[in-house]
Structures are given as structure tokens and as C-alpha cells.
């Protein structure tokens, strides 16, 4: 049940609650933070970006660790509106995912009014790197990897298999492009041109987005040829900024944020009971500031 609640909060952006359940994190947790789907420590909200990335929460397979752009958007919006949050960390371990929704999500991250850090823990490839590149800084470790700045599309032709199975499909349609890329026929010239146009458009947008946010020349991004970059090589290529263990990177952000907090609110100085009381005090202060 504890795992189900964690999944609902961190991957679906829901506000599930379970009495007497404490989420485990070395840095400590803010009890209120789970209501928005993210964890909070010393004013730092941690948003998980794990597994394949899909457009909507209802696309998530409950039997597999996945994250939806919809969930990331919701958690980001909540963290930006939360006066208890001063910085946002994206804990990323993903090989990428769908193009649909990716640029909208990454653009929201890039437009964040609070400092953002991407911690590669331990992979941020393709669409996951798109999101990471939108952050102010990217931290990577020795075996962490980033890159795969590219776009791929596949067409599967089942026509021969259907023929061998004795299946004949008749398609009636209107509009010259309505039947493009049907899996029930070989890819014709019109469909191939359409597919190439879609890939080219997404690839150019990917390259420009990374180049803009990372301060790189677009040609330098193209020259990566969707390669995978590990550790120090990622930093040398301009795809990451700092070289440190993920947990150490997270603690560094949290402790830096703590230096700007009143002494009595710092997590390392609190018992669980005091943490709960101070969470309420901080919330009350935040609400007062809004009116």
C-alpha cells in the first residue's frame, strides 16, 4: 500500500494519503509535500522523472515504472505555487519516451520562476534529456548518462503476415492522407514523405531547444548524432554541468537551500514532531503572505 501511495503521488500527480506511512528519503521529507505529489526538504521540492515518459496519466502502465508529462506539469505547477518551496529538483532516471507532450512539458520547466536542477540518477536520454536541458543546472555522476538527442519513428507492415494468415482487409476512406502509414499495407511514397517530415520537424525542435537552453551552437548538438554521453564526457560536450554522486548532489542543493532558512525550520535540527509542527507554521506563514 505504501508503494501504491508513492506511485500515485510521484507518477500520477495525485494527492493520495495513508496514515502512519513515512516516505523514505535520506534527506528527510516534508509531510505536506506529498499532497502535491512531490517531496520537500528544506524548501527543495523533488519531482521524480522515472521510466518511460508518456503524455497522460491514464497512459501509465501500473505494472511498470513510468511517468506522464501531465504529472510532471501538475507537480511543477504546484511547486511553483507553493510558498514553502524555494527550489525544484528533477530526479531523472529515464530513457525517454513520447514526443507528444514532451516539448510542452520541457517549456514549462524552462519557464520556471524558481531555480531548477536536474540530477541524472542515472540516465536522462532523449525526451528525458529534453526536460533536463530545460533546468538551470544538470548534475551527472561517473556512470550517469545523458544525450540521445534524436527522434525515431517506425512503421510496421503487417500486410504479408495478414496475407499468410488468410486475412484480407478492405479500407474505405476520404482525404488523401487519411490512410497514410496504415500497418496493413507497405509504406508508400506519400506516407514515407509524411513520416520524414514529422521526424525532421521534431528533431529540429529538439536540437534548437537543447542549443538554446544549454548555450550551445545548434550544429554542436547535431554533431552528437544522438550519441550517449557518460560522466565527464557529458560535461566536456556541454550536456551537463557538475560531476557528483546523485545523492550528494541532492544533499548539496538541500543544504544550500537550508542556509536561507530560519534555524528552527532546518530538517537536520528537527525531531519528527517538530518537523510536523513547523510544517504547519510554514504553511500558515505562506497563506498569510498570499492575502
Are residues 23 and 159 both part of a single domain?
Answer: no
Domain that holds residue 190: 150-216
Q: In the annotation, is 86 catalytic?
A: no
Burial of residue 264 (number of CB atoms within 10 Å: 0-12, 13-18, 19+): exposed
Are residues 144 and 161 both part of a single domain?
Answer: no
Out of 159, 183, 216, a domain closes at: 216
Q: Any idea what DSSP says for residue 25?
A: -
> What tens digit of pLDDT does each residue of 124-175 get?
999 999 999 999 999 999 999 999 999 999 999 999 999 999 999 999 999 9
Give dist(CA 91, CA 51) in Å, integer: 11
Q: In this structure, what C-alpha cell is assigned to residue 158?
A: 503487417
Can you say how many angstroms the Cα of residue 50 is from the centroid of all Cα atoms in its chain? Answer: 7
Are residues 16 and 140 both part of a single domain?
Answer: yes
Catalytic residue (one of 71, 126, 139, 141)? 126
> What tens digit of pLDDT does each residue of 23-71 get?
333 433 333 333 357 888 888 999 999 999 999 876 666 667 889 999 9
Amino acid at each position: 500500500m505504501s508503494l501504491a501511495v508513492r506511485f500515485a503521488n510521484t507518477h500520477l500527480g495525485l494527492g493520495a494519503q495513508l496514515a502512519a506511512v513515512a516516505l523514505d528519503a535520506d534527506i528527510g521529507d516534508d509531510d505536506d509535500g506529498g499532497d502535491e505529489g512531490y517531496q520537500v526538504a528544506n524548501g527543495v521540492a523533488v519531482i521524480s522523472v522515472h521510466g518511460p515518459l508518456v503524455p497522460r496519466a491514464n497512459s501509465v502502465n501500473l505494472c511498470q515504472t513510468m511517468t506522464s508529462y501531465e504529472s510532471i506539469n501538475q507537480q511543477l505547477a504546484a511547486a511553483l505555487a507553493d510558498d514553502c518551496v524555494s527550489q525544484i529538483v528533477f530526479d531523472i532516471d529515464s530513457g525517454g519516451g513520447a514526443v507528444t507532450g514532451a516539448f510542452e512539458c520541457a517549456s514549462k520547466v524552462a519557464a520556471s520562476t524558481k531555480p531548477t536542477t536536474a540530477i541524472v540518477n542515472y540516465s536522462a536520454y532523449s525526451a528525458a534529456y529534453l526536460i533536463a536541458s530545460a533546468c538551470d543546472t544538470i548534475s551527472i555522476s561517473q556512470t550517469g548518462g545523458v544525450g540521445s538527442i534524436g527522434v525515431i519513428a517506425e512503421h510496421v507492415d503487417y500486410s504479408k503476415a495478414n496475407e499468410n494468415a488468410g486475412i484480407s482487409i478492405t479500407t474505405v476512406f476520404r482525404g488523401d492522407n487519411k490512410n497514410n502509414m496504415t500497418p496493413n499495407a507497405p509504406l508508400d511514397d506519400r506516407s514515407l514523405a509524411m513520416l520524414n517530415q514529422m521526424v525532421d520537424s521534431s528533431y529540429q525542435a529538439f536540437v534548437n531547444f537543447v542549443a538554446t537552453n544549454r548555450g550551445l551552437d545548434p550544429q554542436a548538438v547535431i554533431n552528437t548524432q544522438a550519441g550517449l554521453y557518460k560522466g565527464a564526457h557529458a560535461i566536456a560536450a556541454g550536456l551537463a554541468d557538475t560531476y557528483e554522486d546523485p545523492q550528494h548532489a541532492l544533499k548539496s542543493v538541500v543544504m544550500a537551500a537550508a542556509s536561507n532558512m530560519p534555524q528552527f525550520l532546518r530538517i537536520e535540527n528537527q525531531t519528527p514532531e517538530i518537523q510536523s509542527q513547523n510544517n504547519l507554521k510554514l504553511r500558515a506563514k505562506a497563506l498569510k503572505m498570499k492575502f
